[in-house]
Amino acid sequence: MEKKAMRGDFRSDNVAGIHPAIMAALATANQGTAQPYGQDDSARALNARFSDVFEAEVTVFPVATGTAANSFSLAACMRPYGGAYCHEGAHLRLSEGNSLAAWGHGAALVGLPGEVGRIDPAALRQALAEAPRGNTQKPQPDAVTVTQATERGTVYGLDALAAIGAVAREHGLVFHMDGARFANAQAHLGCSAADMTSRVGVDLLSFGATKNGAMSTDALVVFRRDLVEPIAFTLRRAGQTWSKMRFAAAQLQAYVEGELHLDLARRANARAAQLGHGLARLPGVALLAPVEANIVFATLPPALIDALQAQGFGFYRRGPGEIRLVCRFDQPEEEVAALLQAARAAG
């Protein structure tokens, strides 16, 4: 925590530390020498391990950020005048500094509306049926990208993912998933990793680990063999092929070992559920989306928001009377209880 300790830090899951098992894996990997740039055994073992996890033959590229996973993977497979269809509130579209356009030489994101952060498969189908193909004034459909769990803290059901995958296939589009909070979504659905990816036609997955216990390490998981080469070259040219790759591989191995990632995600989701449930019972408070992962969006009376911040609770304001609270894997239950108690007292 920072110098002046907060009573509860709900600003982001990125405020969390590194999980001890991942620290231990780093220490173990820190023995002797290893061939650099992913040429050592640990990188090969990582592909094998993740192929087990996803029940499909996958190639894993460790990357430093979710933005890198999202934008370099799409940039590698899109035409410069191509468009990736996404939810209008997608992190890729609003919060990555137009990285896809920079690395994709102009490749665009085409935003679609949709309730609580989710693209509606029927609306996607309609948008693609009406896509201005051949019109040089407009981006040409190349990809679809969904965020699982969504930026609104909701989760796509497997049927919706399958429907989006089917639309992508019909239109010959790459299907990308921004899984910055993949484990939180999987924990919510109680399904396998394959159910959310290979079985619904996902081609590219940005598999988040940083927010849920890793140290600046996410993974780009590639399900289609023909996309491996363009992605490998794009990552190398973007400076994302790490020399000391064994440390990224060690973290990702530890992250999925014994389903640690799901265990940690369940903890964060449980805190958010507790928080959402408690807040929703207060007068003048309304949840803006069902709490399905580790994020709570709510409207509160402005005086209550001020009172909570004045009492040392950290969270972001998202508009007049609207706040976002994010729970993390190492969030003590007491922080949730303290916030709810302070809200009841101030309300």
Ligand X SMILES: Cc1ncc(COP(=O)(O)O)c(C=O)c1O
Q: Which residues bind ligand X (CB under 6 A)?
A: 65-67, 70, 91, 147, 151, 178, 180, 210
**SS3 call for 137:** coil
> Which residue, 62 or 66, has its beta carbon nearer to ligand X?
66
> Which residue, 42 or 73, has its beta carbon nearer to ligand X?
73
Q: Residue 165 corresponds to which amino acid?
A: G
φ/ψ of residue 205, rounded to 5: -130, 125
Shortest Å distance, C-beta 140 to ligand X:
24
Shortest Å distance, C-beta 181 to ligand X:
6
Closest to 13 (Cα-Cα) out of 183, 128, 139: 183
- Distance CA(338)–CA(138), nearest Å, equals 51
> Which residue, 65 or 274, has its beta carbon nearer to ligand X?
65
The secondary structure of the chain in percent helix, strand, coil, rounded to multiples of 5, reads: 45, 15, 35
- Distance CA(216)–CA(222), nearest Å, equals 20
Q: Residue 167 corresponds to which amino acid?
A: V
Shortest Å distance, C-beta 66 to ligand X:
3
Shortest Å distance, C-beta 147 to ligand X:
5
> Which residue, 93 or 246, has its beta carbon nearer to ligand X?
93
- Distance CA(31)–CA(271), nearest Å, equals 37
Q: Which two tokens stand for residue 190?
A: 């109680």
Tell me the torsion sign for CA atoms 341, 342, 346, 347: negative
- Distance CA(207)–CA(46), nearest Å, equals 13
Shortest Å distance, C-beta 217 to ligand X:
10
> Which residue, 13 or 142, has its beta carbon nearer to ligand X?
13
Q: Beta-strand (E) ranges in the chain?
A: 8-9, 59-63, 82-87, 108-112, 140-147, 174-179, 204-207, 218-222, 286-287, 295-299, 313-314, 316-319, 322-326
> Which residue, 112 or 338, has its beta carbon nearer to ligand X?
112
> Which residue, 217 or 253, has its beta carbon nearer to ligand X?
217
> Which residue, 151 or 335, has its beta carbon nearer to ligand X?
151
Closest to 328 (Cα-Cα) out of 277, 271, 258: 271
Shortest Å distance, C-beta 145 to ligand X:
10
Which residue of this chain has its Cβ atom nearest to ligand X in the complex? 66
Shortest Å distance, C-beta 333 to ligand X:
24
Shortest Å distance, C-beta 295 to ligand X:
9
| Beta bridge partner(s), residue 111 | 86
| Beta bridge partner(s), residue 177 | 146, 205
Q: Which two tokens stand for residue 105?
A: 């030489």
